[in-house]
Amino acid sequence: LALLGRVFDVERGRKHYGPGGAYSKLAGRDATRAFASGDFTPAGLVDNVSGLSPPELLSIHSWLSFYSDNYEAVGKLVGRFYDENGAPTEALKEVEAAIEEALKFQADSEQKKQQFPPCNSEWSSATGTRFWCSRQSGGVHRDWAGVPRKLYRPGSQGSRCVCVRSTGPPWGQPDSSQHNDRGDLDNPHLEQYEGCHPLAEQCILT
Answer positive or negative: Cα dihedral of 83, 75, 39, 21.
positive
Q: Are residues 71 and 133 in the same domain?
A: no
Q: Are residues 104 and 122 in the same domain?
A: no
Contact partners, residue 71, CB within 8 Å, separation at least 6: 8, 9, 10, 12, 13
Per-residue pLDDT reduced to its tens digit, 187-198: 999 999 988 899
Mean pLDDT of the chain: 91
Q: Percent of the chain, pLDDT > 90?
A: 73
Q: Are residues 102 and 124 in the same domain?
A: no
Q: Are residues 16 and 107 in the same domain?
A: yes
Strands (DSSP E) contained in 77-158 are 120-124, 128-132, 147-152
Q: What are the φ and ψ backbone dihedral angles of 7, each rounded to 5 degrees? A: -95, 130
Last-in-domain residue among 72, 90, 112: 112
Q: Are residues 90 and 170 in the same domain?
A: no
Last-in-domain residue among 95, 112, 129: 112
pTM strictly above 0.75? no
Q: Are residues 94 and 169 in the same domain?
A: no
State the residue range of the domain holding 38.
2-112
Per-residue pLDDT reduced to its tens digit, 141-197: 999 999 999 999 877 778 999 999 999 888 877 665 666 789 999 999 999 998 889
Residues paired with 75 in a beta bridge: 7
Domain count, the chain: 2
Give the pLDDT mean for 129-139.
91
Residue 142: count of CB within 10 angstroms of its CB: 15
Q: Are residues 98 and 148 in the same domain?
A: no
Q: Are residues 97 and 172 in the same domain?
A: no
pLDDT at 190: 94
Strands (DSSP E) contained in the chain are 2-3, 6-9, 72-76, 120-124, 128-132, 147-152, 159-164, 190-191, 202-205
Q: Are residues 14 and 95 in the same domain?
A: yes
Give the pLDDT mean for 55-62.
95
Give the pLDDT mean for 55-78.
96
Residue 149: count of CB within 10 angstroms of its CB: 28
